[in-house]
Amino acid sequence: MSSRQLPTICLLASRETAPSVLFGLYDVLSGAGSAFDEVVSGEAGTPVLDVRIVAATRAPFRCIWDVLVEPACAIDDVAQADAAVVCDMYVPVTESPRNRYPAETRWIRRMYEKGAIVSSVCSGSLVLADSGLLDGMETASHWAYRDMFREHFPQVTLREQDVLTISGKDSRIVTAGGVASWQDLALYLIARLCGQRHAIEAAKVHLLSPHEEGQLPYAVMGSRPQKADAIIRDCQVWIAANYTCTNPVSQMVERSGLNPRTFARRFIAATGYPPMEYVHSLRIEEAKQFLETEDLSVDEVGHQVGYEDPAYFHRLFKRKVGLTPARHRRKFAGIGASGLHRATLMSDSHVRRTRFDEVSTIERR
């Protein structure tokens, strides 16, 4: 089978692309159909995909971490493809994602209009959103871009919990969440274009496993107070240091000098959260840190962050994190600790400070 007969996947890269995403995708997709046979029998099989790295121009460039990228071709040289993947294109959460890649957004729309499956990884979904392809659609992206989507692309529904979201006509828009979700996308594209057997073999060769728990266990609430509403900002700073207090919303309302309905409306407009949900999110973030770094029981952790009812804390934690507190502890507390006694990890816990305490301290200066 000649390479021209193979399904073609173009990986769109830029200077803001992480090499782990670009070359991880290239490695796994290029090895589909051949790598499994080679490791099992010693004889390489036949590739089933034609994978090409493309960019705005064909000129070599260095992406994030100064890693050299040599595109196979420029985007204007690609008339058609079976799939086009927008690799992550990092955008700081403090900057606008609009109009950063005009040539690339035009190209990605052209590929979609000609029938390609259009995909993205992590911040690549911001490029798709800027192209207009996601208008009225659902998308996955990195959890850190929640506020960015709400501010700049309100017509797009961000599914924070999803690792993969499939949208659009004929399910031809496939967006992946955080950076490591390129693995889920790679297996999906192999299965869709070449069959499930090839996807299973690729998973076995590369030890890939779908992120079945979604993104919620990994997501962290942003700690950067908004700037648009000074009264709500003051309440954000105050609650960051006082989230365990009783009747937190009533105290914020009193502090704001607003009536409760006006306060709630302005709080949602400024933060994207109803006031009590914001407090719950702060408390759960603190609870996660306790579970990850300290030996307190789960019920003690709930009490430390402001919950007197253990059953309520368990239910709320599972709803917000996607895992029970005990499973969250098992998933994260031992990361990087192979061969180490757990007590070693806990020895520095007395110096622990929450990100929210740090924010409130800085804001008060």
Query: CA–CA distance from 131 to each of 107, 171, 197 (Å)?
Result: 9, 17, 34
From first to last of its 365 residues, what are the pLDDT tens digits of the chain? Answer: 344 589 999 999 999 999 999 999 999 999 999 999 999 999 989 999 999 999 999 999 999 999 999 999 999 999 999 999 999 999 999 999 999 999 999 999 999 999 999 999 999 999 999 999 999 999 999 999 999 999 999 999 999 999 999 999 999 999 999 999 999 999 999 999 999 999 999 999 999 999 989 999 999 987 678 888 999 999 999 999 999 999 999 999 999 999 999 999 999 999 999 999 999 999 999 999 999 999 999 999 999 999 999 999 999 999 999 999 999 999 998 887 654 444 444 444 444 444 455 444 444 43
Query: CA–CA distance from 90 to each of 17, 219, 225, 230 (Å)?
Result: 6, 17, 22, 29
For strands 117-121 and 138-139, give the pairing: unpaired
* Nearest CA among 97, 67, 73 for reference residue 8: 73
Q: Between 1.10.10.60, 3.90.1720.10, 3.30.160.20, 3.40.190.10, what CATH number should domain 230-364 receive?
A: 1.10.10.60
- What residue spans define the domains of the chain? 3-206, 230-364
Q: What is the pLDDT of residue 357?
A: 52
Question: Dihedral of CA 261/267/216/245: which sign?
Answer: negative
Q: CA 230 to CA 10: how far, in whole Å?
A: 46
Q: Are 301 and 291 in contact (CB under 8 A)?
A: yes
pTM metric for this prediction? 0.86
3-206 under CATH 3.30.950.10, yes or no: no
The secondary structure element, H or E, covering residue 117 is strand 117-121
**Number of Cβ atoms within 10 Å of the Cβ of 365:** 4
The single residue listed with the structure tokens 């309100």 is 154
- The residues, ordered by sequence, that sit 6+ positions from 197 with a Cβ below 8 Å of its Cβ are none
With both helix axes pointing from N to C terminus, report the angle between 275-293 and 325-332 in degrees, rounded to the nearest 10: 50
